[in-house]
Amino acid sequence: MKKELPEWVKKHKTSGTQIIQIGSNYYLYKIKSIWDRKKGRARKVTEKYLGKITPQGIIKPKHERLKEGLTNITVKEFGATDFCFSITSDIYELLKKYFPVYYKELYVFSILRFFHCTAIKNVGHYYITSDLSDRIRDCKLSPKSISGMLKDIGMKRKAVVDFLKNFLKGRRFQVIDLTHVFSYSEDIISSTLGHNSEGQYIPQINLVMIFSLKEKHPGFFRIVPGSIRDIKVLHKTIQEAEIKEAVIIADKGFYSNSNIE
């Protein structure tokens, strides 16, 4: 005589399902009937395993439980961000010290511009698709916010200089590079008419960069109007960086009695 199913099992029996007992366990299957032309009668077909029946309810098949757990997964860039974060944690702390209002945005903006060389309008997109959005939350990276941040920081040269000096302390050997960038933009006040090493007299910006040879990383930078000559730029940069002792090795284009003085 077939044993009657417990009530907690029977309540899961609905139209189009079948309960099968194996040992002391109960399993629920979805079934349907199809007409078997050869046998001339309906034949049961098992369509799907629905799960194990327990007093607490139905435990769905393992693959369905895994699938449900994957519904909230998002894919984000991780490797490059993790590497960069691991070697620049000191810079992040310095930004926090000298730029307490913008340190998060400055750090994230710099990394994303380095990775993607992207326009400001796309920075927000790269942020939300990067692991940075989980590590450093709630960054304001709309084009308007970034433009406002850069304008504000650009007017705080002292904070910038104090920040950069941290990368010169204790460094003995530096290389100074003087280069020029052309720009006809009317919004860049540093873009002024000036001569360069190629003899061109067009609107340009002088960019000074100090690079540490031993540590192999940038140490200082300064942007100067294109109308200021190279030797004056070099002199003012050394003063601003507070480099007390310096031996300058330069090409013959810098040689003159006035420059030596």
Q: Is residue 126 part of a domain?
A: yes
Asked, for residue 1, whether it belongs to a domain, the answer is no
- What is the pLDDT, as a whole number, of residue 103? 96
Q: Which of 64, 57, 60, 54 is nearest to 25 (CA)?
A: 54
pLDDT digits (tens, 9 = 90+) for 164-176: 988 887 777 778 8
In whole angstroms, what is the distance from residue 127 CA to residue 123 CA?
6
Write down which residue in 46, 69, 92 finishes a domain: 69
Residue environment code for 125-160, b if the CB has 16+ CB neighbours within 10 A, otherwise e: ebbeebebbeebeebebeeebbeebeeebeeeeeeb
pLDDT in tens, 67-103: 777 767 788 999 999 999 899 999 999 999 999 999 9
Phi-psi sector, 16: left (phi>0), alpha (psi -120 to 50), beta? left
Q: What are the pLDDT digits (tens) for 117-154?
A: 989 999 999 999 999 999 999 999 999 999 999 999 98
- Nearest 5°: the CA angle 133, 138, 141 is 85
Is 198's pLDDT higher than 90? Answer: no
Report pLDDT digits (tens) over 3-44: 788 888 888 888 888 888 888 899 999 988 888 888 888 888
Query: What is the residue range of 128's domain?
Result: 79-162
- Residue 218 pLDDT: 83
pTM of the model: 0.64
Tell me, yes or no, whether 193 and 254 share the same domain.
yes
83 and 64 assigned to the same domain: no
Residue 2 falls inside a structural domain = no
Query: Is 125 inside a domain boundary?
Result: yes
Whether residue 83 is contained in a domain is answered as yes
Residues 51 and 14 in one domain: yes
Query: Do 88 and 134 belong together in one domain?
Result: yes
Instruction: Note the pLDDT of residue 168.
Output: 82
Say if residue 124 is in the same domain as residue 46. Answer: no
> DSSP secondary-structure letter at 15?
T
Single out the residue in 162, 186, 221 at which a domain terminates: 162
Question: Do 117 and 100 share a structural domain?
Answer: yes
